[in-house]
Structure 1
Amino acid sequence: MRRYIGFILILLSSWAHGQSNNSPTFALSGDVALLSHYVEHGLSQSDKSPALQGSFWFNFGPQFRLGLWGSNTNYENSDDHFNLRINGDIKVDFSAANYMVISYSQSQYYNGGDRNGNIVGLHLHFGEYRVTYDMMSNWEGTDQRSARLGFGKETKVFGDWLWDNEAGYNSPEISSISPYFDLRTSLGTQWGPIFVDGSVTGTTAASDLNGAGDVFFILSAKTELK
């Protein structure tokens, strides 16, 4: 609990500092995405079924925003079929291309609630490169914590195509599962108002995750709400 209180104080302090140097620019934003399969950090969240996802943000200026994100889910032997996340994050700019995002998500599942928990993140962006660190309080419904350190890079190829690669090191606090890597590569492009891409994901612990960390191919289409 002390860590969460401290995190909230950091958020408020950073936001207050940012607001003192920038005029408020209140704005709404959001997006809707359709995926052939919902996979997060290499682990299946929809049991190879399609997923419809949406997000909504209220921006309190250039640094601070609050919002909601939702997706249908499907897990073996679970009544959790929808995930709603209450999100908040603060962006701290170092330069035009380099910045940091501090984030917090309260993750709620319906109707079972077996996977309810929170996610605290620190994401650093340096041009095309990014370094992410996320802490999960209830990893995969086990009531155990897990941390993930990720490294990613976006590259423009073939003109307007975006090639995105990421590798993550996961360390769940579970004796039966050793730390493992998740890998993802995707290639996408903007097609009118829709961004379409294809991704391949996988983990180094597929045998320990009952098929949830196998190699998956995913197609997705996403559009911004304006």
Structure 2
Amino acid sequence: MRRYIGFIIILLGLCRVHAAENTSPTFKMTGDVSLLSQYVEYGLNQSDKSPALQGSFWFNFGPQFRLGLWGSNTNFKNSDDHFNLRANADVKVDFSQTTNAVISYSESQYFKAGDHNGNIFGLHLNFSDFHVLYDHLSNWEGTKHSSSRYALGLDFHPWNTWLWENEIGYNTPDVTTINPYFDFKTGLGTKLGPIFLEGSVTATSAAGDLDGEGDIFFILSAKTDF
């Protein structure tokens, strides 16, 4: 608990320092809603290959600091966790117009069993369309053991309204029966009016060790902001 309190203090301190650089902070609410053919996170299926409806809500305390909620239906084998609600906080530190760092924290709660409850700490470095990512999960896949993920991402803009997103991650779960493994994702999407449509493919290098949760998955998604 002490480290969580300390992290929140650091977030607030960074927010105060960088907010002072912008004399006209904009306090506003943002959010989005997404419909997916299936929910896959870090290469692992979170909805047992069933569709998922997700939504997020953020309150922005100026340009650097924001708090919000995110939710999604879930479905796991041998678990009664059918909904995930996350309380999120992040701080964005801008180094230039195209370079920034985002420090994030999520308190993740599952209903109704709570087998997958935990928290996620992230540090993401963004260099225009290139991304260096680190995430630490306190309860990896409901095992009560932690896992760290190191990832690289690269985005392309092949056509005017199209976005091609690519990411590769290296996962190190602290579980004796699972060796470190890679996850891969590539997705191509475009915006049609207010809706962003995307088709993506995910996979892992340890599909045989993950009880079907790390297979090759094709995902169709539609997202709109509000």
Where on the TM-score scale, by shorter chain, does this alignment land: which range? over 0.9
Q: TM-score, normalising length from structure 2? A: 0.98
C-alpha separation in 1, matches of 2:154 and 2:21: 30
C-alpha deviation, 1:144, in angstroms: 0.3
State the match for 1:7 in structure 2: 7
Measure, in 1, the Cα distance between the counterparts of 2:137 and 2:5.
Answer: 16
**Greater displacement, 93-102 / 153-162:** 153-162
Residue 180 of structure 1: how far off its partner (Å)? 0.2
Aligned length: 225
Secondary structure of 1:157's aligned partner: coil
In the other structure, the counterpart of 1:124 is: 125
Amino acid in the other structure paired with 1:218: I
1:50 aligned partner: 51
Whole-Å separation in 2 of the counterparts to 1:5 and 1:130: 28
Task: Give the Å deviation of 1:177.
Answer: 0.3
Distance in 2 between the 1:11 and 1:114 partners?
A: 28
SS of structure 2 residue aligned to 1:12: helix
**Alignment of structure 1 residues 209-220 onto 2, 5 Å:** 209-220=210-221
CA–CA separation in structure 1 for the residues paired with 2:213 and 2:173: 15
Percent identity reads 65
The CA RMSD over aligned residues, in Å, is: 0.9
Find the residue that maps to 1:49 and give its secondary structure.
coil
Once residues 195 and 113 of structure 1 are traced to their aligned partners in structure 2, the CA distance between those partners, rounded to angstroms, is 32
Distance 1:202 1:3 in 2: 34
Match in the other structure for 1:200: 201
Partner-residue secondary structure (3-state), 1:177: coil
Counterpart code for 2:142 = G
Question: Structure 1-normalised TM-score?
Answer: 0.98
Q: Which runs of 5+ in 2 are unaligned?
A: none
- List structure 1 segments (4+ residues) > 6 angstroms apart after TM superposition: none
Give the structure 2 partner of residue 106 of structure 1: 107
Offset of 1:2 from its aligned partner? 4.1
State the secondary structure of the residue aligned to 2:90: strand
Aligned to 1:183: 184
CA distance in 1 between partners of 2:160 and 2:90 (Å)? 32
Cα deviation for residue 5 of structure 1 reads 3.2
In 2, the alpha carbon distance for the partners of 1:20 and 1:163 equals: 36
Unaligned runs of 5+ in 1: none
- Find the aligned partners of 1:4 and 1:171 in 2 and give their Cα distance: 22
